[in-house]
Amino acid sequence: MKVLCLIIASDVLPEQIRFQSLWKKMMHKNLNVDCYLYKGHPDLQVPMFLQERTLWIKINESIDTLYPKTLRAFEYFEPQLDKYDYVFRSNLTTFVSFEHMLEFCKDLPRTNCCAGFPGGISREEEAAYGLEPGFSFPAGNGFLLSTDLVRRIVAEQPPLIVQDDVSIGAALQKWKIPILPFARIDFRDHGHWELQNHQLLKPEEMSLEPKKMMFTYRLKSFDRMKDADMMEALIRKVYRV
């Protein structure tokens, strides 16, 4: 089992620089997971180039370019996908236990597979974007795609709908691909952890010890430096660095 992990990144804000340094502490910690940051700069002399573990893409950094930046990263790594079983698209403010992610992947289908935390939009937005009722998308903090789906996304270039995770979700709905759920734990503004879709877990499993069904930790409070401190604590705890 081998996974390509692509982490959407940016240098725009100071906290993003710190989160990149934290990712670099853990991104080499599992030989079966190859991690790369990907970020944009409008003044590059070439469309894309790889520098160590960072893919640079000639594009402006903004909310509006998240999806084209992700498509370009998929395009860059597509020739290498034969080496991998899945692609995990993550972001800077998510901690991941690679060992438990790989354990989770062992039970997944090898094709036509997406796994993530299923997010949703309002009925008004569904109607505005021409989506079927009950639409869901793989939340952008971290989702897994089998490599055949990544290749299909590159080939068909599904249109932009809001951002990259919603756009990919719209393509999955069109292709009749379900989202296989795993648990997500959120660090929230009151300084506590909240467990999402907790029905997947037994009560005695509701702890911060990573395990097969809960290998991502989303750090998203209003205090981004506090989030970074928490991520650093998780890295020390799980990876001993």
199 or 8, higher pLDDT:
8
Across the chain, what does the average pLDDT equal?
91
CATH classification of the domain holding 147: 3.90.550.50
Please, which residues have CB within 8 angstroms of residue 10's CB and are 6 or more apart in sequence? 16, 39, 40, 61, 92
Q: Where in the sequence is the domain holding 55, given as residue range(s)?
A: 3-239
d(CA 214, CA 195): 9
Q: What is the pTM of this model?
A: 0.93
The total number of structural domains that make up the chain: 1
Which tens digit of pLDDT belongs to each residue from 115-158? 999 988 889 888 888 888 889 999 989 999 999 999 999 999 99
The strand ranges marked E within 155-240 are 179-181, 184-187, 193-196, 216-219
For 16, phi then psi, to 5°, come to: -65, -35
Which tens digit of pLDDT belongs to each residue from 154-189? 999 999 988 889 999 999 999 999 999 998 888 877
